[in-house]
Structure 1
Amino acid sequence: MKLLVVEDEKALAQGLKFNFEQEGYSVFTAEDGPTAIRHFEECYESDEESVDLVVLDLMLPGMSGYEIAKEIRRIDEVVPILVLSARELSEDKAYAFDCGTDQYMTKPFALPELLSRVKNLLKRKSLVRKAPVSTRKVPKEYQFGNVTVDFEAFEIEVDGERKSLTNLELRLLQYFIEHEGMVLTRAQILDDVWGEQSAFVTTRTIDNFVLRLRKLVESNPAEPVHIVSVRGAGYRFMPEEMSE
């Protein structure tokens, strides 16, 4: 297993490298964003040397950890990203999750807990990679109604107007599309879209994200025809408006 540690404090980076190597992991350290992303891309292009997990600081020179997380997510949607930061505000944690990170630990930290989290994230990743695909394959561009979704550009086009989506908005929309016509409970959505982040959010968060998506894709968000509510259950995605 290969870990990428992005940390500009040399002593801490070397300490993490040493302890991870004692656990049997291969470790590459980077002090800044461009170095980290360049290494990640090079490894991603080689199946045998791909990075299995990223340990990421947020306060870095030149390029923040948030920006790095976004870039990594554009390359790989599955690789676990664990934030290790001195930032303790809930807003920092929420934004980190919006950028695609999986877990968040604050400094100072307990080494046994860090090692345990890394082990669990790697185990979860291996299960995801081995899991059979049971949902429909979504193309890079997908159309429904008067909406075109560009998954690579993180954008949608509605009646000729392009709009940007956040990472989580895009992941939620893709999840709906993959499960076209199925009734999805809030608990399902929380587990499958938010994953490890679900411990920090509530089902109300899902409702808020659905409202945001409706404002983007529905002609009349108050009377949605694509992302519809199923009373007492959850939500269902319908690519075409249902006839009476």
Structure 2
Amino acid sequence: MRILIVEDETKLAQALKESLEYEGFDVDIAHTGEDGFFLVNERHFDLILLDVMLPGRDGFDVLSTLRKRDLQTPVLILTAKDTVEDRVSGLDRGADDYLVKPFAVPELLARIRAMLRRGRGEQRAVVLKAADLEMNVVTRDVLRGGQAIDLTAKEFELLEYLLRRQGTVVTREMLARDVWNVSVRAVPLDNVIDVHMTRLRKKIDQGFAYPAIHTIRGVGFILREPNR
């Protein structure tokens, strides 16, 4: 998943980039509002970290313009402006969350995870597909080749997580954090994850011409269409 940091403090931007990349995100940096606006229009981002006090075009102006263009990417405001009026202004202009500097990186990461789990209602697909595999997250129906597949609640969560990230490797650490909501991995939890994944793969792949879910040895799992 790709995150854009729009921050004019070079050291802070680089520190945030390193922290986020350690967590498995792809990260781009823009040091001005104009550069950030340009990147958003050139590339897809799953989340934007946006400073307010930027040289030239400020963060609030960038945010307002993006929302007027109906961009639904979640935006987390990062700023030293901490009055109630400032927070209200940011949220009214379309921010999804607001974090005041200085902040602790673990809190920032927790807010990012929550925002990505939550997503924006307009952005999150109801029907997820990968070749002949289909999931409706509202009715909770899962079909493969038109055949209904009965999943437990946890298996459904796992499959939804993989489908929303199809073509991308998902690590056990990511599953522990985002599906089991455990911040610190342990060997017993890894074993639990592997058991659930084995059961899910049997239901999803057994009896079909090709597997949808693959193990990447020493890394994690990936759901992908054939020939990719």
Q: Equivalent residue of 1:51, what SS?
A: coil
Matching of residue 40 in structure 1 with residue 63 in structure 2:
no
- Determine helix, strand or coil for the equivalent of 1:129: coil
Whole-angstrom CA distance in 1 between matches of 2:38 and 2:73: 16
Query: Which ranges in structure 1 are unaligned for 5 or more consecutive residues?
Result: 44-49, 134-244
Matched length:
127
In 2, Cα distance between the equivalents of 1:66 and 1:4?
Answer: 16
For 2:18, the equivalent position in structure 1 comes to: 18
Paired residues for 1:35-114 under 5 Å: 35-43=35-43, 50-114=44-108
TM-score when normalising by structure 1: 0.49
8 Å CA contact 2:73–2:120 kept in 1: the answer is: no
Structure 2 unaligned blocks of 5 or more: 128-228
For 1:68, the aligned partner's letter is V
| 8 Å CA contact retained: 1:78, 1:125 | no
**Residue type of the partner of 2:84?**
S
> Shift of residue 75 of structure 1?
3.3
> Which residue identity does 2:20 align to in structure 1?
F
Quick one: distance in 2 between partners of 1:108 and 1:65? Answer: 17
Contact 2:72 2:120 in 1 (8 A): no
8 Å Cα contact 1:41-1:75 kept in structure 2: no
Note the C-alpha offset of 1:8: 0.2
Is 1:6 paired with 2:6? yes
- 1:153-172 mapped onto 2 (5 Å cutoff): none
Deviation at 1:126, TM superposition (A): 7.2
Summarize deviations over 1:109-156 as a string: whole Å, max 9, x none. Answer: 0111100100111111177534549xxxxxxxxxxxxxxxxxxxxxxx
Aligned-partner Cα distance in 1 for 2:77–2:63: 9
Measured at CA, do residues 4 and 116 of structure 1 come closer, stay the same or move farther in structure 2, by a change above 3 Å?
A: same
Q: 1:118 to 1:38 in 2, by over 3 A?
A: same
Using structure 2 for the length normalisation, give the TM-score.
0.53
Provide the rounded CA distance (Å) in 2 between the counterparts of 1:58 and 1:32: 10
Provide Cα deviations, 1:203-230, integer angstroms capped at 9, x if missing partner.
Answer: xxxxxxxxxxxxxxxxxxxxxxxxxxxx
2:75 and 2:95 in contact (8 A); partners too: yes
Matched AA of 1:114: L
